[in-house]
Structure 1
Amino acid sequence: MSMTEQRDDRTRPTPTLLDQMGGTVGFVYSTIPVLVFVTANAFLPLTLTIGLAVATGLALFGYRLLRRERFSSAVGSLLGVAVAAGVVAWTGSARDFFVIGIWASLAGFVVTAGSLVARRPITGVVWNAVHGGRHPWRDDRVVLRAHDLATLAAALVFGSRFAIQQWLYVAESTGGLGVARVVMGTPLTVLAALVIVWAFRRSTKRLRT
């Protein structure tokens, strides 16, 4: 690496949490296929609805690549739409477009809540693993409390998503599921992530300085 490139790396601003999650426009990208699916389902046969959702995902994938966005973010969104559409095609039920996300939320809640009950909050376990697994983080009350709060924030997000969306799923409200997916998706993830980042930084400051 040349001296010029090294200077450029030092002066380049560190990506914020929002940037790492795709930026503000990333929120829009994550909701467009959902909105297309729900809207099309209200007027078109299920086969066409599935086709439109997948086509939208492909179009967004190509557009994001042209914009030179992160390939992992772009392909991740496309795969999510493709898998959800595949489940719908298999079951023949429009509401199943959301079923993977619903059960993923339940799994996330079980893991995070279970780690709190076991007094080993998962965010602390992850932080310690990232930093070599040698820190007595559970012996520090301040650090342990920070990870209790961070893991609780994640558990509340997962639990609320599952409870509300599963209720809408049982009620066969595909439109309601679409609204819930948008409202309870990236915005809640960002809020929980902010608490987790705070806990990580608090742990690093107390145990690695």
Structure 2
Amino acid sequence: MTESERAGDQASTENTGDAPAVDTPPKRKSAFGDPDASLLEQMGGVRGLVYSSIPILTFVPVNGFWGLTVAIWAALGVAVAMLMWSLLRRENPQPAISGFIGVAIGVLIAWRTGDAKGYFLYGIITQAVYGGAFALSALVRWPLVGVIWGLIDGRGMAWRRNPPARRWYAIATWIWAGLFAIRAVLQYALYLNDEVNWLGAARIAMGWPLALVAFAATIWAVRRAMAHENEPAAARDASDE
């Protein structure tokens, strides 16, 4: 065998060999893409529920028995204790920090107004602002659920060029707008009637339970939007006709 023939055989062997395996990064799980995660886990787990509920469960009865000043210090003390506990255990402090900020603003308003119902005013205003923002985003065809999910999932705003996907994101956005509006309207009615005890009950009852329902509906709508995003352009155009 000549040198040229041996070189040709070597080249043929190299060309027919298996290509080197390329390691692919593990697929990132998301709140909407992990079927094994419960809704409560996807929304921050039991800790988020505890951090949002305990200060209210402290403030309302303490105010009823010992007055506003003691209730203010009791709610602040509980919020600080939960924050310190989270830091000492080296857990994600975000739920505790958010809870502490909300409590601090609430007790500040209550202290400034001299009325226990002021503790709930910040939450009512926040719900109204959120509801207005979500409704406005849907009206101008930039539904916030789509914007937020596009940033989380890394797909950007390509979904806006897909009318069926945009409609599903708008549905999810209107669900949240309705939730925030219901909370704001009903709690403001209790606020006007000085129903402090019922305000506390409404804050808890209309908090996580309703949010879980809205979150489940959001997952349902977002998955349908993503199905339209993943389908071929020809099938998408046919479904629009």
Counterpart in the other structure of 1:173: 195
Counterpart in the other structure of 2:77: 55
SS in 1 for 2:79: helix
- 2:46 is matched by which residue type in structure 1? T
Counterpart in the other structure of 2:234: none
Change (3 A) 1:23 1:125: closer
Change (3 A) 1:200 1:42: same
Q: How does 1:90-169 map to 2 (within 5 A)?
A: 90-130=112-152, 131-141=154-164, 143-169=165-191
Greater C-alpha radius of gyration: 2
Counterpart in the other structure of 1:3: none
Residues 1:23 and 2:82 aligned together: no
1:17 CA drift (Å): 4.4
Alpha-carbon distance in 1 for matches of 2:92, 2:149: 25
- 1:140 is matched by which residue type in structure 2? P
Normalising to structure 1: TM-score of the pair?
A: 0.83
Counterpart in the other structure of 2:98: 76
Structure 1 contact 137–207 (Cα < 8 Å) conserved: no
- 2:125 is matched by which residue type in structure 1? W
Alpha-carbon distance in 1 for matches of 2:174, 2:157: 24
1:67 CA drift (Å): 3.7
Normalising to structure 2: TM-score of the pair?
A: 0.73
Residues 1:87 and 2:109 aligned together: yes
Alpha-carbon distance in 2 for matches of 1:202, 1:62: 41
User: After alignment, is 126-135 or 103-112 more displaced?
Assistant: 126-135
Q: When you count helix as a share of all residues, which structure comes out higher?
A: 1
Identity %: 34
User: After alignment, is 82-91 or 20-29 more displaced?
Assistant: 20-29
Ranges in structure 2 where 5+ consecutive residues have no aligned partner: 1-24, 232-241
Alpha-carbon distance in 2 for matches of 1:138, 1:196: 20
Alpha-carbon distance in 2 for matches of 1:204, 1:122: 15
Q: Deviations over 1:147-181 (max 9, x none)?
A: 12211210111010011000000001111110000
Alpha-carbon distance in 2 for matches of 1:146, 1:59: 42
Change (3 A) 1:128 1:62: closer
- 2:95 is matched by which residue type in structure 1? S
SS in 1 for 2:158: coil
User: After alignment, is 32-41 or 71-80 more displaced?
Assistant: 71-80
How many residue pairs get matched? 200
Ranges in structure 1 where 5+ consecutive residues have no aligned partner: 1-5
Structure 1 runs (4+) deviating above 6 angstroms are none
Structure 2 contact 59–75 (Cα < 8 Å) conserved: yes
1:132 CA drift (Å): 4.8
